[in-house]
Structures are given as C-alpha cells and as structure tokens.
Amino acid sequence: MKRTFAELLESAVNEPGILSTAYRAFHTYSIGNQLLAWAQCIERGIQPGPIATYQRWKELGRYVRKGEKALTLCRPVTVKRTTTDDDGTEEQTASTWFVYKPFWFVLAQTDGQQLAEPEMPTWDKERALTALGVAEIPFDSTNGNVMGFARFREIAISPLNPLPHKTRFHEIAHILLGHCSEGAQADGELTPRNLRECEAECVALLCCAALHLPGVEHCRGYIQAWHGQGNPIPERSAQRILKAADQILKAGTTETTEAEAVA
C-alpha cells in the first residue's frame, strides 16, 4: 500500500536512525524518495542500498534477478500545452505532475560485476547559503532567550547557541518555506508551538539526521510534543518540509542528484 509523505515523515520523526540509514543508502535521490525506498525495503526484507533502473544496472554490468519486484518511487512528469488566443497568438504553458512508477531495483536485487562503494557527499555551509541566496548576518538581538532569527533572506545565530547548525537549518527553513514574507521569525526557548515552527523544526531534524549532526533528539522532542497535542502534520506541509530539506542538503553539495527526485 502506498504510504503518504506525511506518514513517511512521521516514521522518520518517531523512529531513530531511519533517515540517516535512508540517506546513506539513497542519497542521490530526494528525501521523499529515500524514505519511500527505505519503507519498501524494510517491508519486503531487502537490504537497503544503491538503486537504479533495470537498464542502468545493465549498463553498470549488473543484472536484475528473475522474479525481483521493482521499487516504486515518485517522479515528476511535465506536460506542455499550447493554446491559441483569439488574435492568433500562441501561448505555451507547462504543468508538472508527480506520479508513482515501479522502475527501480536495489543493489541487493541484482547480480554481476562488483561495484565500488559510492562516496557520501560532503555538505558545506557557505556553499549552501550562496546557492540558496541566504546571507548569515551578525546576531544583534538583545533578547537572551532568542537562539536565532530569520528575516527576509537573512539569518542570524546567537553565539551562545549550543546547537548552531540545528538552528541554522531551522532558520533557513523559515525562509524557504515562505514564513518570512510577513516579517522576522525569532526562535528560542519561548517560541510558540505553531505549524510554522513545527515545519521548520522538521526540516532541521531531517538535515541533522542526514548529516549525522547532533540535535536530532532535541528536534524530535519538539515535534512529538506537537503531535501529542493532537496536531498531525498535514500532507501538504509534509511535502513542503521534504522539499525544503532537499533544497538545503543539495545546495551544500556538488553531487548531482537523480532527475526522478520528488519536488
């Protein structure tokens, strides 16, 4: 049964180690597809590992074993349409839809030529900020409870912050998620528990977990408290969270990711 992205996100939040395992195995794909692939491997008792299409494995000198069932991932499909106005001028528009297709197989489902161990990408803060068009400015808040803030395309992290990288991901997420269009977002010990904060904290959790950085448990506690108040994360929010985390992780690396990545 196909799992929603909200369900996959909830699993990543509540079950330690899921995201880091999925990222190590499937890092060339989007986080949404990483979690989709991981869930199918676990359900079917398959060892997670590199994934590729039948043809790609063939090009790499490996062959999918007879009887193996493909993994289903989400991929974008763009449909272009041309419309003609009354004056005869033509206008072309494009719409992107996301569909689920069973085209991928895990390394454990194949036999053949031995492959080199894939290298994990490295993440660089400065590269990510530049790619995302975000500036990190000096911290100038006089409120001792504030650990960081975001405004427009700028973020600042308190020099007293014990987890600066977690807060940095959180503040970048506010910008990417459009939370700063109406003003600044300041985050600290007294931050109200609302959906915007939960979205940004989910992004921070995904980034910290993928990069093996401390702070995951802190994020998890906040998000679980949100759930405990009877506030499930909506599917649309889950999709936005996964997209923002993808943007941050990809912006900080030079590795090219697969075209099938979910947006």
Query: Which of 23-27, 38-42, 94-98, 128-132 is least confident?
Result: 94-98
d(CA 221, CA 180): 24
Q: Is residue 23 part of a domain?
A: yes
Final residue of a domain: which of 112, 138, 153?
112
- Residue 200, pLDDT score: 93
Is 227 a domain residue?
Answer: yes
Task: Give the domain extent around 206.
Answer: 125-251
What is the per-residue pLDDT for 186? 54
Cα(first)–Cα(last) distance of the chain, in Å?
Answer: 21
HEC string for the chain:
CCCCHHHHHHHHHHCCCHHHHHHHHHCCCCHHHHHHHHHHHHHHCCCCCCEEEHHHHHHCCEEECCCCCCEEEEEEEEEEEEEECCCCCEEEEEEEEEEEEEEEEEHHHEEECCCCCCCCCCCCHHHHHHHHCCEECCCCCCCCCEEEEEECCEEEECCCCCCHHHHHHHHHHHHHCCCCCCCCEEEECCCCCCHHHHHHHHHHHHHHHHCCCCCHHHHHHHHHHHHHCCCCCCHHHHHHHHHHHHHHHHHCCCCCCCCCCCC
Q: How confident is the model at residue 215 (pLDDT cuts 50, 70, 90)?
A: very high
Clarify whether residues 162 and 235 are in a common domain: yes
Task: For residue 153, give the amino acid letter.
Answer: R
Same domain, 188 and 217: yes
Shared domain for 142 and 66, answered yes or no, is no
Q: From CA 24, how far away is CA 165, in angstroms rounded?
A: 20
> 136 or 18: whose pLDDT is higher?
136
Residue 80 included in any domain = yes
Shared-domain flag, residues 149 and 99: no
* pLDDT tens digits along 79-103: 777 777 777 777 777 777 778 999 9
Whether residues 99 and 136 share a domain: the answer is: no
Q: Band of the pLDDT at 69, cuts 50, 70, 90?
A: very high
Choosing from 82, 112, 142, the residue where a domain stops is: 112
Q: Same structural domain for residues 16 and 88?
A: yes
Shared domain for 24 and 60, answered yes or no, is yes
Residue 261 within any structural domain of the chain: no
> Is residue 167 one of the residues assigned to a domain?
yes
Same domain, 70 and 98: yes
Same domain, 85 and 150: no
Predicted confidence (pLDDT) per residue in 224-248, tens digit: 877 767 778 889 889 999 999 999 9
In this predicted structure, the answer to whether residue 2 has a pLDDT above a threshold of 60 is yes
Would you say residue 192 lies in a domain?
A: yes
Mean pLDDT over residues 36-43, rounded? 92
More confident residue, 249 or 13: 249
Residue where a domain stops, chosen among 112, 137, 159: 112
Residue 263 lies in a domain: no
Do both 130 and 243 map to the same domain? Answer: yes
Residue 258 inside a domain? The answer is no
Residue 171 clears pLDDT 80, i.e. is over it: yes
Do residues 33 and 62 share a domain? yes
Distance, CA of 205 to CA of 173 (rounded, Å): 11
- Distance (Å, whole) CA 166 – CA 109: 37
- Clarify whether residues 219 and 101 are in a common domain: no
- Does residue 183 surpass a pLDDT of 70? no
Count how many domains the chain has. Answer: 2
